[in-house]
A = this chain, B = another copy of it.
Amino acid sequence: MPKIVDHDTRREEIAEALWRVVRRDGIRAASVRTIAAEAGWSAGAVRYYFPDQDGLLSFAMDLVSRRVTDRVSAIEPKGSVETIVLRYLDEVLPLDAERRAEFDVWLAFMAQARAESGAGALQEHLGKVHNELRQLCESLLHSLADAGVLRDGLDLRREVELLHALLDGLALHAAIQPDRTTPTRLRQLMRRHLESLMAENP
């Protein structure tokens, strides 16, 4: 048969084709056949790498979060604490068209996951990623607190939840109205929120 193939990269190619279909026509159009056509193979070929459709969906959702995690863990923590924190937040927010597309797909997966009663694979994955992002918020705020730049009397646990919710909310708004919620505006708003947590007179 044709050249030997790396299964993982092939699976990723197919998953990315799924992303494009979901983004263009919605998750309702994400059939094995349309995905195969988008990827440029036959349906049988796709089925060789993914035994069933659920596995494909779940893999594709996983891949989205893995891409984000990879970007985040590639960050080098150089500079002042404030700039490091902002750089992390920059990487999580959808600041360009590619990341906005990523979030569109993620949005579709979230909605689909919510429809899984009990403990489906998507549901479980959504919970995991949700917790990981909260933990990132937590560690960012803690490093700010350790550096002593935060205001006194803050309930850190509350601020973690607020920052986390703000992050997701801003990402959503960037997807819904990219014209109004531009990258610059996103960064502005994020910075303004962090400033409200910091000491008023440095």
Q: Which residues of A contact B (CB under 8 A)?
A: 22-29, 104, 107-108, 110-112, 114-117, 126-127, 130, 155, 158, 161-162, 164-170, 172-173, 175-177, 181, 185, 188-189, 192-193, 196
Considering the complex, give the chain B residue whose CB is closest to the CB of A101: B114
Contact of A166 among B27, B162, B175, B177 (CB under 8 A): B162
Given A170-B169, A193-B162: A110 in contact with B111 (beta carbons within 8 A):
yes
Number of copies: 2
Q: Min CB distance, A50 to chain B, in Å? A: 17
Q: Which residues on the B side are within 8 Å of A175 (C-beta)?
A: 114
Most buried by B among A126, A162, A167, A181: A162
Q: Which residues on the B side are within 8 Å of A104 (C-beta)?
A: 111, 114-115
